[in-house]
Amino acid sequence: MDKLVIEGGKPLSGTIRIHGAKNAALPILAATLLAREPVTLRNIPKLLDIEVMLDIMRDLGCAVLRRGDVVTIDGTVADSSHVPERLMRLMRSSVFLMGPLLARFGEVQVYQPGGCAIGERKIDLHLRGLAALGAKIEETGSRIVCKAARLTGAEISLDFPSVGATENIMMAAVMADGRTTIIGAAREPEIQDLQRFLNAIGAKVRGAGTDTITVDGTDNLGGCDFQIIPDRIVTGTAMVAAAATRGEVTLEGAESAHLISLIHVMRRAGVHIETEDGIIRVGAKGRPRAVDRIVTSPYPAFPTDMQAQLMVLLSLAGGVSVIKETVFEGRFKHVDELCRMGADIRIDLNSAIVRGVPRLYGTAVEATDLRAGAALVIAGLAAHGRTIVEQVHHIDRGYDEIERMFASLGGDISRVSDG
């Protein structure tokens, strides 16, 4: 298992380019199964989750070719609609395949993806949406089989603006008979990118980015050449690392419009942030100010995927901050590790009370999930002394060689492979 070795205390400085968005690429890769011609996707990052998804697509019979960050997929030769359990358990995002496979083959077999370090991760909203489109759903143990000779457009109301459920329903609906309306839809930029992709292959999707999305079914979906949006969470992670190490960093190929809530919170903490077309500049000289209340909530509110990273910055602030996590029930696994580095954080139900300390101290810590791991890397970069981050495979799911990104900004960080 790889480890990251970090000698902290050095302010980050320099310029990096942000890679493509994992959470846009995953549903769009699944959606290529709907195209009747080959599709070229650009800005596809090299991440564990992406490689697992490409393996699943190959397992389904698709022709997949990767050249750098360009992936060409011919889904027309796919000949299976059964997602293997071993791959399903490896990555819960394979649940995105349900909609396209059901629309394409009239049947799909998947397995309950199971919970993970951050929560139960139910898929009841996905299944309810597909059933509303006419799918018959049979659950036997962890195996789920959905069948529908033909899907029919419907009005679907989501109890919670689930990103994955919104995306699955959008993809299932593009070939359904008639109109589908999703009420209470998620509004994330990745949903908007999926709409852009679906319309590029000839679908008729409207409203992504608002809480109501309509899809008018059509059969003639062709191919396209499409570029994925930049990863807003990788962008935010680099921004927080620059501030926590009191550095000066420029991020290129970044979309500041996708990070308004984070930018506002960081400015309240005293971080200097300038934005212009495709560029974000972040600088911090002194200790951050405490921010008394941050609540994670669906987009455009403060993103749950930035909660752990921001907690590191506020653990160094002058004063007490409160962070409330309302999206996932188990997303505080990083707190114990940060406290072992000298942070003063107390959990009260789904809120973290963060009493800022002057500095953190390096020690051996363990990544428990993707964003908690990224937060521990930021803490190591800001801390005094050496930090060893273990279980780095969690981080590799969402960051393309995180050590290279921060080393190019002057961070003293390297990867040690245990073979």
User: Residues 6 or more apart from 264 whose CB is under 8 A from it?
Assistant: none
Q: Which residues on neighbouring strands pair with residue 351, listed in sequence order?
A: 324, 348
Identity of the residue numbered 202? G
Number of residues in contact with ligand EPZ, rule: CB under 6 A? Answer: 25
370 near ligand EPZ, rule: CB under 6 A: yes
**Token couple for 65:** 């070719």
The pairing of strands 143-147 and 136-140 is antiparallel
* Closer Cβ to ligand EPZ, 213 or 383, answer by number: 213
Q: Which of 111, 197, 302, 328 binds ligand EPZ (CB under 6 A)?
A: 328
Contact 215, 173 (CB under 8 A): yes
Cα-Cα end-to-end distance for the chain: 7
406 near ligand EPZ, rule: CB under 6 A: no
232 near ligand EPZ, rule: CB under 6 A: no
Beta strands in 166-263 (DSSP E): 179-183, 204-206, 212-216, 224-227, 248-252
Contact 9, 418 (CB under 8 A): no
Say whether 277 sits in a helix, a strand or coil: coil
371 near ligand EPZ, rule: CB under 6 A: yes
Dihedral (Cα; 234, 18, 92, 196), 10-degree rounding: 120
393 near ligand EPZ, rule: CB under 6 A: no
418 is in an annotated binding site: no
Q: Which of 29, 64, 125, 170 binds ligand EPZ (CB under 6 A)?
A: 125
**Which residue among 116, 146, 224, 339 is the active-site one?**
116
The one segment of 75-83, 104-112, 116-124, 256-264 that binds ligand EPZ by CB under 6 A: 116-124
93 near ligand EPZ, rule: CB under 6 A: yes
398 near ligand EPZ, rule: CB under 6 A: yes
**Token couple for 241:** 């690392």
Place of tokens 């011919």: 74
Contact 402, 2 (CB under 8 A): no
* Closer Cβ to ligand EPZ, 122 or 340, answer by number: 122
Is residue 27 reached through a cis peptide bond, with omega within 30 degrees of 0 on the bond before it? Answer: no
Q: Which of 43, 81, 304, 321 binds ligand EPZ (CB under 6 A)?
A: 304
The pairing of strands 224-227 and 204-206 is unpaired
23 is in an annotated binding site: yes
> Is 339 a known active-site residue?
no
Interaxial angle between packed helices 22-31 and 98-105, expressed in degrees from 0 to 180 and rounded to the nearest 10:
10
**Token couple for 392:** 């780095």
22 is in an annotated binding site: yes
Distance CA 362, CA 7 (A): 8
Binding letters toward ligand EPZ, positions 271-300, x by CB under 6 A:
------------------------------
Q: How far is the CB of 58 from ligand EPZ (least distance, A)?
A: 20
Q: Which of 101, 165, 238, 379 binds ligand EPZ (CB under 6 A)?
A: 165
123 near ligand EPZ, rule: CB under 6 A: yes
Q: Which of 1, 160, 274, 353 binds ligand EPZ (CB under 6 A)?
A: 160
49 is in an annotated binding site: no
Binding site members: 22-23, 92, 305, 327
- The residue ranges that bind ligand EPZ (CB under 6 A) are 22-23, 26, 93, 119-126, 160, 162-165, 186, 304-305, 327-328, 370-371, 398
Binding site members for UDP-N-acetyl-alpha-D-glucosamine: 92, 305, 327
Q: Which residues are catalytic?
A: 116
Binding site members for phosphoenolpyruvate: 22-23
